Amino acid sequence: MSAKQPHLIVGIGASAGGLDALQHLFAHLPDNTGMSFLVVTHLPADHKSHLAEILRRYTEMDVTMIERDTEVRRNVVFVAPPDSVVLLEKNRFHLAPRGGEPMHKPIDVFFSSLARHSGEEAIGVVLSGTGSDGTLGIKAIKERGGLTLAQGSEGSTPEHHGMPDAAIASGLIDLVLPIQEIGAELGRFASGFVDAAMAAAQTVEAPESYSEVYGLLLRHVGHDFSGYKLSTFHRRVHRRMQICRVATVEEYVELLRADTAEVTLLFRELLIGVTSFFRDNDAFDVLATQVIPKILEGKGSNESVRLWVPGCATGEEAYSLAIMVRECLDTLKVEPRVQIFASDIDEKAVSIARQGRYPKALMDSVSPERRARFFTEDGVSYVVNREIRSMCLFSPHSVLRDQPFSRIDLISCRNLLIYFGAEFQSQVMPIFHFALRPGGYLFLGLAENIGSHSDLFAAVDRKQRIFQKRDHSAFPRTPIIPRAIAALMQAPPLEDEENQSVATLLRHAVDRRVMERYAPAHVLVNRDGDIIFYSARTGKYLEPPGGVPTRHLLTQTRRDLRPDLRAALQEALETLRRVERRGIVADLDDRTSVVDLSVEPFGNSPGDPLFLVVFRDVGEVRERTIGPIAGDERVEQLERTLRETRERLQSEIEEHESALEELKSSNEELHSSNEELQSSNEELETAKEELQSLNEELHTINAELMSKVDALDHANADLVNVFDSTKVAIVFLDQNVVIRNFTPAATEIFNLIPSDAGRPLSDISGSLEDRELHREIREVAQTGAMIERNVRRADGKATYSMRILPYRAPSGRSEGVLVTFVDVTNSVEAEARQRVLVEELNHRVRNMLTVVNSIANQTLRQSTTKEDFVAAFTGRIRAMGAAYTVVAQRNWGDVLLRDIALEQIKPFVDGKAERMKMEGPAIRFSPTAALSFSLVLHELIVNAVKYGALAGVAGSVDLVWKRKGSDALELSWSERGGPTVAAPTRRGFGSELIKREIQRLGGTYGSTYEQSGFRAVLTIPLDESAVQVHS
């Protein structure tokens, strides 16, 4: 075994009712098993399957519909397309055309291809479905050692039992599980399989470890496997161990000891693969050379040769025989009629056999010549041709329960007996013996034997298990006893024998004597009228007919009793009640007697009833003719009457015989037309099944569509809400610039009403000042390139950002144009405002710099030293800064005089600030006026600090203001207690600045130097825009 990781490939066959089953299977299947899956279903070829989409909802694995030859990948679910059959070759799925014939069996075809490709790494799963597709495929998989599973009826039952039941009935299914467990079991098996493969690659147990197993098999089934090929034995035992979930051989031996059923299962596992065409070719060769010619030779063309294949299963054995017989017939001049009766208890198997259609993989053992001659190939399977097919007659039949076929030349019963115990074999052998004509042959499987029945059969070829009937036993040694009566007869006696007293024994002897002597004659028959038990003294009523011994009651009954007995039996069989017939006049022996007879059901087996037939002679007919026989004339008359009667009888008999012939032939016709009906019925089944599967899928898709429609409804509702709520105006246009739809906001731009959908946009008047719009829309419709720009309303009240876009259909194709308008009026205005602000800022900065430049220039003119300049200049700049501080605090609104003054005095520490006293009403200054006034105050304060009242430690300043008249403000600046001051010789910068600033405000300025100190008076006009009284 190579070290390669095993690759399990799972074929899943499902049909009617399969969709539900598949959903359950995948819902319970782990998605990382490393296996590959192929789902095969029955669907009409022209139907597009949605199975892949449906399954995707139940598994995380990739689900792919096979559309062309594809490599098999792990952890992928492949779905077979309905119009093809899938084959597996060299790790690739190949598609083959499905062909036109109605009996389409894609599951069988794929399974057998899978079996051939993967061998032991193949797994076949048969799920719900009608018909029997899959059974042959399962057979192929099992033959090559793969694993087979079927959906069982436990838990949730499959919707349609046909397919799984057929597969299960074949006896080749390893595990029958409820659908919910199949997925998990597959997962478990996959992991176990890998381990087992590893283990097997490393160790092959010594034969000794199996000695227990050999022993158990020998003991229970009488077959010694110790000579069997060890590797195969090892694999098959391990397969059983996996299925039983047992880890070691020791544990398995324990299981075998405890459960004899498992021994049987192991036995079957070991014998798998024995029912294909010409299986065990050697044996068939012997049959063809030694047996078949003997059966056929010397038979006339009106004679028939009859073969019987009990347990024919799916028909390969029967067809193999038919082929060999056909080949042999070719060598003969005269061809007798050949009939091969193939029967099986399983009707499904019989219907598969009847179809005679086999996947290629099952045809390996058929030579190319035979394939060409006896089969028709349809690409993926072979169909038995008419010549062979017409030789075979298939029917459901139980070897044990039903009446056996008779006058058979060859019984081929291969590998049926191994499925049953020794008891069955000992029951079957006499049946076979009975069914064969003298010198007939019996052909058994290689693992089978005639057991203890060597008195019935003689070996022709012991190795190939070919036997011939021994003819010396004139009468069937063992009557064919239905099981029911056999059980009845073996029932223990009512009383324990040991407790029986002498009296009781005597009683029984008396009973027996009375019965023999006085009881009416009676027989016990089964439903077919075969006698099972005779009482004493039945000879009066029964007479063995000439010819082959028979046990049939009616053929033995004396003629006069026959019609009444037949009618009574029939009635009893139908009603299961006691039936009586009285006063039947019959010639019994030489007397004319009157007989009563009764038929009554007997025993307690309703399925297999027995009947007790009692004959009672109630006396002779005294005299049929009243008068005495009168002479020869009378005799003559009687003789004539007798002759006429005989003639009439003769013609009746002839008529009867010809009617019988006709019946026979019409029966045969009916048989064949029945066959035809059967097969057309099966064709109809297949068609019905395809429709059923299709219907299921359509149901699912319909449900899905419904939910999609719901989702669409929701999406549509969302869209409607978006339309109604959005402020974005959108107009949808088709390729011809005809309006398809628009949002309510669009009505503000175009004069649209809901009924305008369908009209060209050019018909609608708009409120834009734009003439280019229509040309641009056509351009976008043609080129598909977007256009974006701003447009204004004609009334100038709004600006829109307009975008013209191609409308993309879901297919990606451009199917018109979309025009959107976003109102950007606010942002356009904001932009303009922004520009103004920036310019204003620019202007102010420049003005500020100009002012600073002026202060610097003028300060420089007045300064004598650099230190003077720096002190004065920085002081003034600071004063300006302080003014701005106050203005900024008021957010560039008006500020109070008091606040301006406080801010200007603030830099002067050491209590100087507190020495300036202020008094006056609340006066408001505009920002520019405040700035001017700040510089004025600064100059006054600096002067006082430098030379005046604030220079020393004691002086103070009074700043007092009041309204002067109605339109002016008067401020006085009075210094007291400072050093003595005198008027300066020339006017300084400070007073020049004060004068100019006050002039600018439209006011006047005057100053005096008095004894007490410097004093200044300022008059400023009250003006709405500059200085005013605060209200």
The Cα 222–Cα 421 span in angstroms is 10
Helix (H, G, I), strand (E, B) or coil at 655: helix
Helix (H, G, I), strand (E, B) or coil at 1023: strand
- Identify which of residues 476 and 1021 has a Cβ nearer to another protein in the complex: 1021
Interface with another protein (CB under 8 A), residue total 27
Among the listed residues 28, 132, 133, 593, the single catalytic one is: 133
The Cα 103–Cα 172 span in angstroms is 23
15 is catalytic: yes
Q: Of 77, 343, 997, 1013, which one interacts with another protein (CB under 8 A)?
A: 997
- Identify which of residues 479 and 881 has a Cβ nearer to another protein in the complex: 881
The Cα 522–Cα 525 span in angstroms is 10
Q: Does position 838 bind another protein by CB under 8 A? A: no
Binding window for another protein (CB under 8 A); candidates: 578-586, 850-858, 903-911, 939-947: 850-858
Which amino acid, one-letter code, is at 357? R
Q: Of 32, 783, 999, 1008, which one interacts with another protein (CB under 8 A)?
A: 999
The Cα 987–Cα 128 span in angstroms is 120
Binding window for another protein (CB under 8 A); candidates: 337-345, 406-414, 501-509, 839-847: 839-847
**Contact yes or no for 284/410 (Cβ under 8 A):** no
Q: Does position 852 bind another protein by CB under 8 A? A: yes
Q: Does position 861 bind another protein by CB under 8 A? A: yes
Least distance in angstroms from the C-beta of 903 to another protein: 19
Helices 260-270 & 211-221 angle (0-180, nearest 10): 100
Q: Of 586, 855, 886, 1018, which one interacts with another protein (CB under 8 A)?
A: 855
Q: Does position 996 bind another protein by CB under 8 A? A: yes
- Structure token digits, residue 966: 């109605």
Residue from 363, 289, 352, 350 nearest 320 by CA: 363
**Contact yes or no for 324/284 (Cβ under 8 A):** yes
Q: Of 473, 575, 762, 854, which one interacts with another protein (CB under 8 A)?
A: 854
- Contacts of residue 278, Cβ cutoff 8 Å, sequence gap at least 6: 284, 320, 365, 366
Q: Does position 844 bind another protein by CB under 8 A? A: yes
Q: Of 722, 838, 849, 922, which one interacts with another protein (CB under 8 A)?
A: 849
**Contact yes or no for 17/700 (Cβ under 8 A):** no
- Structure token digits, residue 802: 């307009």
Q: Does position 1022 bind another protein by CB under 8 A? A: no
Q: Does position 850 bind another protein by CB under 8 A? A: yes
SS (H, E, C) 520-573: CEEEEEECCCEEEEECCCCCCCECCCCCCCCCEHHHHECHHHHHHHHHHHHHHH
**Contact yes or no for 521/561 (Cβ under 8 A):** no
Torsion over CA: 311, 313, 319, 324 (sign): negative
Least distance in angstroms from the C-beta of 871 to another protein: 18
Helix (H, G, I), strand (E, B) or coil at 62: strand
Binding window for another protein (CB under 8 A); candidates: 167-175, 192-200, 749-757, 846-854: 846-854
Least distance in angstroms from the C-beta of 1026 to another protein: 9
Q: Does position 509 bind another protein by CB under 8 A? A: no
- Contacts of residue 270, Cβ cutoff 8 Å, sequence gap at least 6: 217, 225, 228, 233, 236
Least distance in angstroms from the C-beta of 873 to another protein: 13
Binding window for another protein (CB under 8 A); candidates: 304-312, 488-496, 641-649, 843-851: 843-851
Q: Does position 853 bind another protein by CB under 8 A? A: yes
- Identify which of residues 759 and 846 has a Cβ nearer to another protein in the complex: 846
Torsion over CA: 886, 892, 896, 897 (sign): positive
Q: Of 845, 888, 953, 954, which one interacts with another protein (CB under 8 A)?
A: 845
Q: Does position 992 bind another protein by CB under 8 A? A: yes
Least distance in angstroms from the C-beta of 997 to another protein: 5
Q: Of 203, 331, 857, 864, which one interacts with another protein (CB under 8 A)?
A: 857
Q: Assign residue 977 a region: left if phi > 0, alpha if psi is -120 to 50, beta otherwise?
A: left
Give phi and psi for 964, each to the nearest 5: -120, 110
Least distance in angstroms from the C-beta of 855 to another protein: 6
894 is catalytic: no
**Contact yes or no for 814/806 (Cβ under 8 A):** yes
Q: Does position 685 bind another protein by CB under 8 A? A: no
Among the listed residues 24, 28, 36, 42, the single catalytic one is: 42
**Contact yes or no for 567/542 (Cβ under 8 A):** no
Give phi and psi for 413, each to the nearest 5: -130, 85
Binding window for another protein (CB under 8 A); candidates: 394-402, 656-664, 835-843, 882-890: 835-843
Binding window for another protein (CB under 8 A); candidates: 60-68, 458-466, 528-536, 991-999: 991-999
Least distance in angstroms from the C-beta of 824 to another protein: 25
- Identify which of residues 564 and 1023 has a Cβ nearer to another protein in the complex: 1023
- Identify which of residues 367 and 999 has a Cβ nearer to another protein in the complex: 999
- Identify which of residues 835 and 906 has a Cβ nearer to another protein in the complex: 835
Helices 135-143 & 162-169 angle (0-180, nearest 10): 40
State which H helix or E strand residue 864 sits in: none
Question: What x/- string results for residues 896 through 935 when contact with another protein is judged by CB under 8 A?
Answer: --------------------------------x---x--x
- Identify which of residues 640 and 846 has a Cβ nearer to another protein in the complex: 846
The Cα 151–Cα 128 span in angstroms is 7
Sheet with 62-65, edge to edge strand ranges: 62-65, 76-79, 36-41, 9-14, 122-126, 147-151, 175-177
Which of the residues 174 through 233 are near another protein (CB under 8 A)? none
The Cα 141–Cα 12 span in angstroms is 12
Binding window for another protein (CB under 8 A); candidates: 353-361, 469-477, 490-498, 853-861: 853-861
- Identify which of residues 55 and 1026 has a Cβ nearer to another protein in the complex: 1026
Residue from 702, 701, 705, 703 nearest 713 by CA: 705
Q: Does position 1000 bind another protein by CB under 8 A? A: yes
**Contact yes or no for 382/371 (Cβ under 8 A):** yes
Q: Does position 1024 bind another protein by CB under 8 A? A: no
Q: Of 32, 645, 826, 842, which one interacts with another protein (CB under 8 A)?
A: 842
Q: What's the start-to-end Cα distance of the chain, in Å?
A: 110
- Identify which of residues 880 and 971 has a Cβ nearer to another protein in the complex: 880
Among the listed residues 15, 112, 343, 351, the single catalytic one is: 15
The Cα 178–Cα 171 span in angstroms is 18
Q: Does position 706 bind another protein by CB under 8 A? A: no
- Output the DSSP codes for 686-749: HHHHHHHHHHHHHHHHHHHHHHHHHHHHHHHHHHHHHHHH--SEEEEE-TTSBEEEE-GGGGGT
Binding window for another protein (CB under 8 A); candidates: 23-31, 526-534, 849-857, 942-950: 849-857
Which amino acid, one-letter code, is at 73? R
- Identify which of residues 641 and 842 has a Cβ nearer to another protein in the complex: 842
Q: Does position 993 bind another protein by CB under 8 A? A: yes
Sites of contact with another protein (CB under 8 A): 839, 842-847, 849-855, 857-858, 861, 928, 932, 935, 992-993, 996-997, 999-1000, 1025
User: Which positions are catalytic?
Assistant: 15, 42, 133
